[in-house]
Amino acid sequence: MAGIPGLLFLLLLLLLCAVGHVSPYGAHWKPTWPAYRLPVVLPQSTLNLGKPDFGAEAKLEVSSSCGPQCHKGTPLPTYEEAKQYLSYETLYANGSRTETQVGIYVLSSGRGQESSGKSRRKRQIYGYDSRFSIFGKDFLLNYPFSTSVKLSTGCTGTLVAEKHVLTAAHCIHDGKTYVKGTQKLRVGFLKPKFKDGGRGANSSSSGVPEKMKFQWIRVKRTHVPKGWIKGNANDIGMDYDYALLELKKPHKRKFMKIGVSPPAKQLPGGRIHFSGYDNDRPGDLVYRFCDVKDETYDLLYQQCDAQPGASGSGVYVRMWKRQQQKWERKIIGIFSGHQWVDMNGSPQDFNVAVRITPLKYAQICYWIKGNYLDCREG
C-alpha cells in the first residue's frame, strides 16, 4: 500500500470516475453495476474534543445557490484538501466526541481493482404531485420500503448494515454545532399497531390502511465528515452532507448495501428512487422516482417531488450484478435538499442528492466494517 502523491490526486479522481463504463447497447444489454478502482480511507490519528453544544435547531432541508454549472466550475480537491474533508467527527451517546484524521491510499497490488439567492418559497413539488404514500404492513414491512427509518430529529435514514443507518449530516449537525436532541438521538422503525393484543384487527385485506407505530432504538455514535463541518458556510458543504449512525443494538431487518454512484447515463432509465417521511404526510412513508436532470462529481440534480422530512433518504437504483448474476438495489446517494439555480438568467429549482463517490464509499464502508479489506468492491 502506498500514499498518493499530491500531483497525481486529480488524475486519480478522474480515473475513479471513468473506470467501469458500460455501453448501453446490444440486444441483451442489462444496466450493470460498474466496477471501480476503489481507494482506501484509513484513520491516522484521533484527538479527543471538548463537550459539544447541542443548541442548533433542526433544519429538515438545506439550500444553496451554487447550481450545476457553479459546481462544475469548482476545481476538484487536492490530495491534502480531500484528506481534510474526509476526516471526521464522532459523537458518542455519553456526550464525548473525537476528531479523526485520515489518510488516502491505493493498493499496490492489482487485487480489488476490477472491473444564497433571493427568498422564494421552496415548493419542492413539480406540477402534479407524483409521490406515493405506502400503506399496509405487506408493503411497509417488506424490502425495500422496510429499509427506510425515521430519525427523532425529524429526518429520514436508510438501513445500510446490521446496526448502521445512513442519513444527511444536516439532520444532526448544522455545520457549526449539533442539532437539539442529537445527544439522545433515536431511530424509529414502523411496526403494526395492534389494539388489545388483537393481531387480526385492521388487516390490510380489509381495505382500510393498517395503523402503524414507531419502535425506537437509541444511537450509540454518529460520524460526520469534516467537509460538512468545515464547509457548510460555503459551496463545498453540500458535497459532504452525509452521516452514519451506529445503533446500540441490531435492528434485525434486511438492509440495503451502499454502492458507488454510476454516471447518470448508466442509470436504468436515467431514474433514481427514494422513500422518506415527508412532513406534509405525518406518519406516512412516501415513495417517489424521477429522472436525473444534471450531475456533478459530487451531486445529482433531479426534480423528485419531496418535502422537508425526506432529507436523509437513501437514493437507490436496481442494476444487474454481473459477478452474482442477479439484480441488486444499492444506495448511491443521500437526498440532501433544495436549490434555486440561475439557468441562463432564468431561475429553476432542483432537489439535490449527494453522490456516493469512490472516496465517500471507502470512508462510509470503513465506518461500517472497520476493515478496509471488506471495502474493495463498490
Residues carrying an active site annotation: 170, 235, 311
Q: Give how far the C-alpha of residue 230 lies from the chain's centroid of Cα atoms, to the nearest Å.
A: 19
CA distances for 349 relative to 68, 70, 84, 126, angstroms: 11, 14, 31, 9
CA pair distance 127, 301, nearest whole angstrom: 17
CA distances for 199 relative to 49, 192, 205, 210, 357, angstroms: 49, 9, 13, 11, 44
CA pair distance 348, 100, nearest whole angstrom: 39
CA angle 85, 155, 147 (to 5 degrees): 95
Backbone angle region of 57, left / alpha / beta, with phi > 0 → left and psi within -120 to 50 → alpha: beta
Task: Copy the grid coordinates of residue 328.
Answer: 441488486
Give the sign of the dihedral formed by CA 105, CA 106, CA 108, CA 112: positive
